[in-house]
C-alpha cells in the first residue's frame, strides 16, 4: 500500500491545527498538574451533545452549542473548585469524568441505539475530516490563540479554563479522545524541557510518522498517530548531555 | 510499426474486455455473495471482517483508497453503516458509487424490512427508521438480494452480462435447493423460544417461525438495566425458553450470567460468513446456524 497524499494530507493538516492550540494549553495543564482535564471536558461536551439530541433537536449548530455550553459550564465549575480546594483538583476532575460518563448512560437509557450518539462526539476519526471542517477548526483555533496571547495576563486561570473547553470540544470531534490526550500531553512534555518550538516539532513529527505508518501498513490512523507521538516525544524530549 | 501498433491495440482491447469489476463490499456476507455471482469477473474488497461490528469501523487509509477505485459498492443500508459510510463516500469522491448511482447497491432496498417503526416516536427508536437492518440471516432475503445484485452486475458491466446471468441462475438454483433442505431440517424448531442478546436475529426467527423470549440488551451499546434483567429472569421462570442466542461479537458476560441464573444453554450463532470456523461460506453459514440451533450446542 503506497502513500496517497490526498488521503493522509487532510489528516496531517488537521493534526497541525489541533497541535497549534494543544501544545501551549498542554504546558499549562502539566504545570497545574491536571492532566486528565481534557477527558473530563470532552466527556462533558459529549453529555451536552447527547442532551440536545434527546430534546429532539438535530441541527448541527444546536448540538455543537449544547456540547460547548456543557463544556464551558463544567470548565468554570472546575475553575471554581481549583480556587477553593486546589489540593483536591485532580480528584475532582477524575470524579467529574466518571459522573459525566455515567450521566450520559442514564440519559441514553431511554433511547434505543443510544451508544451511537455517544460515539458521535467522543470518537472523532482523523481520516474522516474534510477541508470544510479543517477551515472551521483553523478559524476557531486562531481565535483561541489570539485571545490566549492578548488576555493571558489579565484573566489568568478563568481564561485558561474557558479556552481549554473551546479547544477540546472542537478537537475531540475531529480526532477523538485518545489523540486529543496525546496531542495535549506528549508534545507539551517536550516543550517544557526544550521550548515550544521543539514541542511543536515533536508533535508534527508524530502526526507525520503516524499517518505514514497508517498508509504504508494500512492500520487505523488514530492509534498509529498516538504511538508515533509517544516515540517522537521520547526521541526529542530526552536531551543527551554532552 | 503499424503491425506493432495494431498488436498493442488488440492487447489493450483484450485486457479491457477482461477488466475485472471492482466491488467494495461493506460486510462479509455481501463479499461472499458478490464472489458467488461474479466469479473471476469481479475483484471484491471487504471493508469489514466477521470479527468487526459493522456499526463501528476504524478509519484506515485503504478504505478510502479502495472505495475511490470501486465500480460497485454493495452494502446493507437501512442505516447499518450510518456511522461511517456517508463520511467514507464523501472522502472517496468517487461519482460512480454515490447514492442514486447504479454503482451504489443497498441490500436492504431489495427486501421487505421488519420492525419498521409505524410512527416517528423517539422512545420507540429513531435510529433505524427504515427498519431492522440485520437481513443476512434469512436465506429467502439472501435470494432476493442475489437476484437483484446479479441484475446490477450485468447492468454495470454489460460485457460480462451473460456470465453474471448464468452464475446468478446457478447460484439461485443451488440456494433454493439448500433452502428447502434447511427448512425441512428446521421443522422441529418451529414454535421454540429463544432469548437473544440483541435484536439481530429477527429475520432468522421470522424465517424459522421461532419466538423471541426476550432480549438481554434491548439497547445495543448500553448495559442492561437491573430491573430489566430481573423481569427477564422472572418471565423465564414462569415460561421456560429453549436457549440463549448470542453472536461471537457480543460480550459473553451477560449471556453467561443469564445461563447461570436460568440453567438455559448459551448457543453461539455466527451472524455472518466467517464469524465462526464452520461458517466459511454463505451455504456453510446456514448449515452452522441450523446445526447449532437444533443441537443446542454450547
Distance of CA B85 to the CA centre of its chain: 15
pLDDT higher at A221 or B225 = A221
The Cα–Cα gap between B58 and B55 comes to 10
The Cα–Cα gap between B136 and B200 comes to 10
Q: Which residues of B touch A119 (CB under 8 A)?
A: 56, 83, 221
Closest by CA to A16, choosing from A235, A229, A158, A216, is A229
- The answer on B160 and B33 residing in a single domain is yes
* Closest Cα in chain B to A128: B87
Output the pLDDT for position A53: 80
Instruction: Tell me phi and psi for residue B50, to 5 degrees.
Output: -70, -15
- The answer on B249 and B108 residing in a single domain is no
Q: Is the pLDDT of residue A16 over 90?
A: yes
Distances (CA, A) of A113 to A56, A147, B79, B218: 15, 40, 12, 9
Helix (H) or strand (E) holding A56: none
Output the pLDDT for position A150: 87
Q: Does some domain include residue B266?
A: yes
Summarize pLDDT for A190-214 with one digit per residue, the tens: 999 999 999 999 999 999 999 999 9
Closest by CA to A220, choosing from A175, A180, A170, is A175
Q: Is the pLDDT of residue A184 over 90?
A: yes
Q: Is the pLDDT of residue B233 over 80?
A: yes
pLDDT higher at A113 or A167 = A167
pLDDT higher at B212 or B3 = B212
The Cα–Cα gap between A215 and A218 comes to 5
Tell me the mean pLDDT in the region A208-225. 92
Instruction: Tell me phi and psi for residue B43, to 5 degrees.
Output: -125, 115
- The answer on B257 and B219 residing in a single domain is yes
Which one of B181, B212, B246 terminates a domain? Answer: B181
Contacts of B1 (CB under 8 A, 6+ apart): none
Q: Does some domain include residue B90?
A: yes
Q: Does some domain include residue A64?
A: yes
The SS3 assignment for A18 reads helix
The Cα–Cα gap between A225 and A209 comes to 7
pLDDT tier at B142, thresholds 50, 70, 90: very high
The Cα–Cα gap between B113 and B77 comes to 11
Closest by CA to B58, choosing from A26, A178, A41, is A178
Q: Give chain A's domain count.
A: 1
pLDDT tier at B5, thresholds 50, 70, 90: low
Q: Rounded mean pLDDT of chain B?
A: 89
Q: Does some domain include residue A95?
A: yes
**Residue A210, C-alpha cell as written in the block:** 503516524
Which one of B144, B163, B181 terminates a domain? Answer: B181
pLDDT tier at A98, thresholds 50, 70, 90: very high
- The answer on B262 and B217 residing in a single domain is yes
- The answer on B220 and B158 residing in a single domain is no
Instruction: Tell me phi and psi for residue A109, to 5 degrees.
Output: -60, -25
Output the pLDDT for position B297: 44
- The answer on B268 and B169 residing in a single domain is no
- The answer on B79 and B131 residing in a single domain is yes
pLDDT higher at B220 or A157 = A157
**Residue A17, C-alpha cell as written in the block:** 491545527
Q: Is the pLDDT of residue B14 over 60?
A: no
- The answer on B170 and B99 residing in a single domain is yes
Which one of B181, B200, B227 terminates a domain? Answer: B181
Summarize pLDDT for A31-82 with one digit per residue, the tens: 988 999 999 999 999 888 888 888 877 777 888 899 999 999 999 999 999 9
Q: Give chain B's domain count.
A: 2
- Within 180-239 of A, beta carbons closer than 8 Å to B belong to 214-215, 218-223
Q: Which residues of A touch B90 (CB under 8 A)?
A: 130
Domain span including residue B199: 190-295
Contact at 8 Å (CB) between B14 and B149? no
Q: Is the pLDDT of residue B98 over 90?
A: yes
Tell me the mean pLDDT in the region A112-127. 66
Q: Does some domain include residue B2?
A: no
* Closest Cα in chain B to A220: B60
Alpha helices in chain A (DSSP H): 5-32, 37-54, 60-84, 89-108, 114-122, 131-155, 157-194, 196-217, 221-237
Q: Is the dihedral of CA A182, B249, B124, B86 positive or negative?
A: positive
Q: Does some domain include residue A229?
A: yes
Give the closest-approach CA distance of A237 to chain B in angstroms: 29
Q: Does some domain include residue B14?
A: no
- The answer on B231 and B174 residing in a single domain is no
Q: Does some domain include residue B4?
A: no
Q: Which residues of A touch B131 (CB under 8 A)?
A: none
CATH number at residue A80: 1.10.3470.10
User: Of A8-17, A145-154, B271-280, where does mean pLDDT reach its minimum?
Assistant: A145-154
Contacts of A118 (CB under 8 A, 6+ apart): A46, A50, A104, A108, B221
With an 8 Å Cβ cutoff, the interface of chain B facing chain A consists of 55-56, 58-65, 82-84, 87-88, 90-91, 122-128, 218-223, 225
Q: Does some domain include residue A242?
A: no
Domain span including residue A72: 5-237
CATH number at residue B69: 3.40.50.1980
Choose the closest CB to A4 out of B59, B61, B123: B61
- The answer on B125 and B60 residing in a single domain is yes
The SS3 assignment for B265 reads coil
- The answer on B153 and B26 residing in a single domain is yes
The Cα–Cα gap between A74 and A61 comes to 20
> How many residue pairs from chains A and B have C-beta atoms closer than 8 A?
88
Q: Partners of B106 in the beta sheet?
A: B75
Q: Which residues of A touch B61 (CB under 8 A)?
A: 1, 4, 7-8, 127, 214-215, 218, 221
Q: Does some domain include residue A26?
A: yes
Contacts of A219 (CB under 8 A, 6+ apart): A213, B60
- The answer on B75 and B206 residing in a single domain is no
Q: Is the dihedral of CA B94, B100, B101, B102 positive or negative?
A: positive
Q: Is the pLDDT of residue B238 over 80?
A: yes
Flag whether the pTM goes above 0.95.
Answer: no
Residue with cell 441505539: A113
Q: Which residues of A touch B220 (CB under 8 A)?
A: 113, 115
Q: Does some domain include residue A12?
A: yes
Amino acid at each position: 500500500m503506497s502513500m496517497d497524499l490526498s488521503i493522509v494530507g487532510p489528516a496531517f493538516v488537521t493534526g497541525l491545527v489541533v497541535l497549534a492550540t494543544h501544545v501551549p494549553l498542554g504546558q499549562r495543564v502539566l504545570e497545574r498538574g491536571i492532566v486528565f482535564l481534557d477527558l473530563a471536558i470532552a466527556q462533558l461536551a459529549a453529555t451536552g451533545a447527547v442532551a440536545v439530541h434527546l430534546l429532539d433537536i438535530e441541527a448541527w449548530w444546536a448540538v455543537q452549542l449544547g456540547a460547548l455550553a456543557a463544556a464551558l459550564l463544567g470548565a468554570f465549575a472546575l475553575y471554581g473548585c481549583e480556587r477553593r480546594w486546589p489540593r483536591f483538583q485532580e480528584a475532582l476532575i477524575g470524579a467529574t469524568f466518571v459522573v459525566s460518563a455515567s450521566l450520559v448512560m442514564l440519559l441514553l437509557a431511554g433511547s434505543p441505539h443510544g451508544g451511537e450518539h455517544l460515539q458521535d462526539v467522543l470518537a472523532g476519526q482523523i481520516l474522516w475530516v474534510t477541508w470544510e471542517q479543517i477551515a472551521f477548526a483553523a478559524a476557531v483555533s486562531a481565535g483561541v490563540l489570539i485571545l490566549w496571547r492578548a488576555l493571558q495576563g489579565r484573566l489568568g486561570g478563568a481564561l485558561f479554563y474557558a479556552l481549554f473547553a473551546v479547544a477540546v470540544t472542537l478537537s475531540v470531534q475531529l480526532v477523538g479522545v485518545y489523540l486529543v490526550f496525546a496531542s495535549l500531553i506528549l508534545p507539551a512534555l517536550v516543550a517544557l524541557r526544550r521550548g515550544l518550538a521543539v514541542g511543536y516539532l515533536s508533535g508534527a513529527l508524530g502526526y507525520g510518522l503516524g499517518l505514514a505508518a497508517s498508509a504504508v501498513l494500512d492500520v487505523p490512523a488514530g492509534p498509529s498517530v498516538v504511538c508515533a507521538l509517544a516515540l517522537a516525544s521520547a526521541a526529542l524530549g530526552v536531551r543527551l548531555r554532552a | 510499426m503499424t503491425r506493432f501498433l495494431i498488436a498493442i491495440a488488440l492487447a489493450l482491447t483484450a485486457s479491457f474486455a477482461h477488466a475485472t469489476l471492482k466491488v467494495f463490499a461493506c460486510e462479509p456476507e455481501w463479499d461472499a455473495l458478490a464472489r458467488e455471482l461474479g466469479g473471476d469477473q469481479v475483484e471484491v474488497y471487504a471493508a469489514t471482517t466477521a470479527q468487526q461490528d459493522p456499526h463501528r469501523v476504524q478509519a484506515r487509509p485503504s478504505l478510502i483508497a479502495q472505495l475511490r477505485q470501486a465500480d460497485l459498492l454493495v452494502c446493507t443500508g437501512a442505516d447499518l453503516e450510518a456511522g461511517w459510510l456517508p463520511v467514507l463516500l464523501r472522502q472517496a469522491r468517487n461519482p460512480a458509487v454515490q447514492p442514486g448511482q447504479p454503482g451504489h447497491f443497498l441490500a436492504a432496498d431489495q427486501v421487505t424490512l421488519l420492525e419498521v417503526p409505524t410512527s416517528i416516536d423517539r422512545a420507540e427508536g429513531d435510529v433505524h427508521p427504515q427498519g431492522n437492518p440485520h437481513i443476512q440471516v434469512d436465506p429467502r432475503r439472501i435470494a432476493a438480494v442475489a437476484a437483484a445484485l446479479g441484475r446490477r452486475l450485468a447492468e454495470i458491466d454489460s460485457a460480462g452480462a451473460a456470465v453474471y446471468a448464468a452464475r446468478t441462475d446457478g447460484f439461485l438454483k443451488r440456494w433454493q435447493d439448500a433452502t428447502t433442505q434447511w427448512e425441512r431440517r428446521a421443522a422441529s424448531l418451529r414454535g421454540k423460544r429463544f432469548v437473544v442478546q440483541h435484536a439481530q436475529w429477527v429475520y432468522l426467527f421470522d424465517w424459522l417461525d421461532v419466538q423471541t423470549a426476550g432480549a438481554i440488551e434491548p439497547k445495543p451499546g448500553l448495559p442492561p438495566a437491573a430491573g430489566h434483567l430481573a423481569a427477564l429472569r422472572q418471565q423465564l421462570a414462569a415460561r421456560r425458553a429453549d436457549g440463549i442466542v448470542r453472536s461471537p461479537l457480543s460480550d459473553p458476560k451477560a449471556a453467561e450470567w443469564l445461563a447461570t441464573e436460568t440453567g438455559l444453554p448459551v448457543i453461539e450463532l455466527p451472524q455472518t460468513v466467517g464469524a465462526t470456523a464452520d461458517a466459511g461460506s454463505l451455504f456453510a453459514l446456514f448449515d452452522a446456524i441450523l446445526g447449532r440451533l437444533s443441537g443446542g450446542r454450547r
